[in-house]
A and B are shown apart, each in its own frame.
Chain A
Amino acid sequence: MSSAEPILSVNLGKLRLKNPVMPASGTFGYGQEFAEFVNLNDLGAIIVKCTTLAPRLGSFENRLVEIPGGILSTIGLQNVGVHRFVKEKLPYLRQFDTPVIVNIGGGSVEEFVKVAEILNRTGGIAGLEINISCPNVAQGGMHFGIDPDTTYNVVKSVRECTDLTIIVKLTPVSNVSLFAKICEEAGADAVSLINAIPGMAIDIETRKPKLGKNIAGGVTGPCLKPIALKMVWDVVRAVKIPVIGIGGISSAEDALEFLIAGATAIQIGTYNFVDPQAMIKIIRGIRDYLVKKRLNDIRELIGTLKIET
């Protein structure tokens, strides 16, 4: 039996994923953009672009610049709005045997609730990821995720209007565990972290911000990984609900570090841009690792960090 296929499936609340690998919101469009590179049936879940009540234009031009080991970018939640999402984007995703999780954003608790209500009565959606951590919009972003009371209110209010699986995407603040606990208390099924860390870059020739009129953006990519891993490690010890690790994961080895630290699942962000097949390679790499280590089930690996005392 040593060559038996290892079990990769994990649960986020009542939602069962066939494997723990999914895209980070905003790095995978609405799935269709990647369909020529990836069989969407192979993914653990599909998390689509952050969706707000009304369509948004997003940030100014000059939205992205590469930095050592990562990117600095600001998209500012450009999206088609929840109504066009339901009408034009969701029907395509329904054909796949992969749970669709919609990342939702808003400028007020009421907006979050309205978007959640609309998605709740639309079939074909498995879960919501509440985005209280986007650093790139003045309203509807990070300010929700840095205030304990508003965090509680948003999560509680969305919880009251839906039975869909709720994930809360956390802001990378130093006391992130406190916010994770608040989300758990407010009824979240899982938390995901980390979102981008605010950053900026300056062109010394012109003395202008490299992101132009946007001035600042969010840092993502491989350079985030150690920071994200530490925060995930902190959060898994603070809450009982599943934790989804995000931050610079570019290979199966990176993903395995997060799983060993205690993440139940992981999201791939920036690296989807580098290699559209990254998630497929990571799923295969996790599987090969389990085989090599003679582990029959991924749950035998999750949260098994060995600490010498």
Chain B
Amino acid sequence: MLQLKAFILANEQIGDRFWRITIAAPQIASTISPGQFVNLKISPSIYPFYPLLRRPFTVLKRIPRANPSAIEIVYEIVGKGTKLMTKLRKGDELDLIGPLGQGFSWKRFLDKEVHVLVGGGIGSAALFMLAEEISQMIPRYNLKLVIFIDARTKDELVLEADFKTLPADLRVATHDGQYGYHGYVTQMLEDYLDKEGVSHKAVIYACGPEIMYRKLQQICRHYGVPAQISLERHMGCGIGACLSCVCKVRKETVMKYRNLAASHIQFVPEKELGYALVCKDGPVFNIEEVEFDE
């Protein structure tokens, strides 16, 4: 966990609402692992109070060959912070804290043969480094890597070209049906699990909106497939101090996976549900641990 000044190498629009920013950060590029995030102060000097807080971003790629080595982030304009971020130019400086959080622990699932990545919308960005790492292990462990990504339209499928560079079985869906599978990524996943009969030897890693996770939780329960998911929350600090970015977790399942004393998870006696910190205990959780609101 470092706090450093980092220069922007590029910031370019790649879709109607999507941008790709490249930041020189050798110490981050060499230490970050799939699923971890960085917390950016977008306006360190000119407008220190606007936006006030840092913004957490998942890292799409490490670019070790860049000089200096860099990280790449893909972001969607969702509010004032990300809108302002589009104004950043090559040579501008950011204040960056990272790497933060617990990423995907995919090596725990090396006994599984089929590794399935499920990316909903821009959430697929959080899966790219993981896809890279798993794809490098395909020959050694005889793995199968299947990647499902979706977007509302073909134009919004901005990461398809990146995923295409990997030796994986890539399947894309659009909600409007103009390209690839017609529907949601979770429907595509269900069809796949139905047809292929691989549930017993599969593991899922996912990133997407909460509505996708609610559906995915049902799918995982139905097919008996374990899944790790990356959650998103508004964060105050990103380092476990403000206790803002909580998610509801179930005591019984949390105990299966974690040493409670070493976590930031808060339970109270006689209550089954407690709160975990997305910035510290996550952002990656086992899907069974998380309790979603209806």
Contact = CB atoms under 8 A, between A and B. Distances in A.
> Are A and B bound to each other?
yes
Interface of A: 26-29, 33-34, 36-37, 49, 54-58, 61-66, 68-71, 73, 75, 78, 80, 88, 221-222, 250, 270, 272-277
Contacts of A80: 266
A66 B248 contact: no
B1 interface: yes
A130 to B, nearest CB: 21
Interface of B: 1-3, 41, 48-54, 81, 95, 97, 233-237, 239-248, 261, 266-268, 271, 274-275, 293
Q: Is the interface of A mostly helix, strand, loop or mixed?
A: loop
A63 B239 contact: no
A272 B52 contact: no
A64 B236 contact: yes
A277 B118 CA distance: 38
Contact of B50 (A61, A68, A75, A88): A68
A55 B270 CA distance: 12
Contact of A33 (B2, B48, B239): B239
A57 B242 contact: no
A34 B51 contact: no
Contact of A71 (B53, B97, B274, B275): B53
22 contacts: A27-B237, A33-B241, A34-B241, A37-B3, A49-B243, A57-B267, A61-B233, A61-B248, A63-B244, A64-B245, A66-B81, A66-B234, A69-B52, A71-B52, A75-B242, A78-B246, A78-B266, A222-B49, A222-B52, A250-B49, A275-B95, A276-B237
A219 to B, nearest CB: 12
A64 B245 CA distance: 8
B54 A274 contact: yes
A28 B51 CA distance: 21
Contacts of A70: 52
B41 A54 contact: no
Contact of B246 (A61, A65, A66, A277): A61
A71 B234 CA distance: 11
A36 B1 contact: yes
Contact of B244 (A75, A222, A276, A277): A75
Nearest to A213: B293
Contacts of B3: 37, 276-277
A63 B21 CA distance: 29
Contacts of A29: 240-241
Nearest to B95: A275
A262 B124 CA distance: 54
Given A61-B246, A66-B51, 10 more contacts: A55-B266, A57-B268, A57-B271, A57-B275, A61-B293, A66-B52, A75-B244, A270-B236, A272-B237, A274-B41
Contacts of A37: 3
Nearest to A80: B266
Contacts of B2: 36
Contacts of B244: 63-64, 73, 75
A26 B50 contact: no
Contacts of B275: 57-58, 61, 78
Contacts of B54: 273-274
A275 B97 CA distance: 9
A195 to B, nearest CB: 15
A69 B50 contact: yes
Among A28, A29, A56, residue most surrounded by chain B Cβ atoms (within 10 Å): A29
Give the most central of B97, B236, B267: most A CB within 10 Å. Answer: B236
B237 A78 contact: no
A221 B52 contact: yes
A78 B267 CA distance: 10
Nearest to B41: A274
Contact of A274 (B53, B247, B274, B293): B53
A73 B97 contact: no
Contacts of A61: 233, 246-248, 275, 293
B111 to A, nearest CB: 34
B53 A276 contact: no
A56 B269 CA distance: 10
Contact of B48 (A65, A250, A273): A250
A220 to B, nearest CB: 10
A273 B41 CA distance: 11
A58 B50 contact: no
Given A57-B266, A70-B52, A80-B266, A273 B237 contact: yes
A70 to B, nearest CB: 7
B27 to A, nearest CB: 13
B266 A58 contact: yes
Contacts of B95: 275
Contacts of B240: 29, 33
B274 A57 contact: yes
Contact of B242 (A36, A88, A273): A273
A162 B236 CA distance: 35
A221 B51 CA distance: 12
A285 B16 CA distance: 44
A66 B53 contact: yes
A152 to B, nearest CB: 31
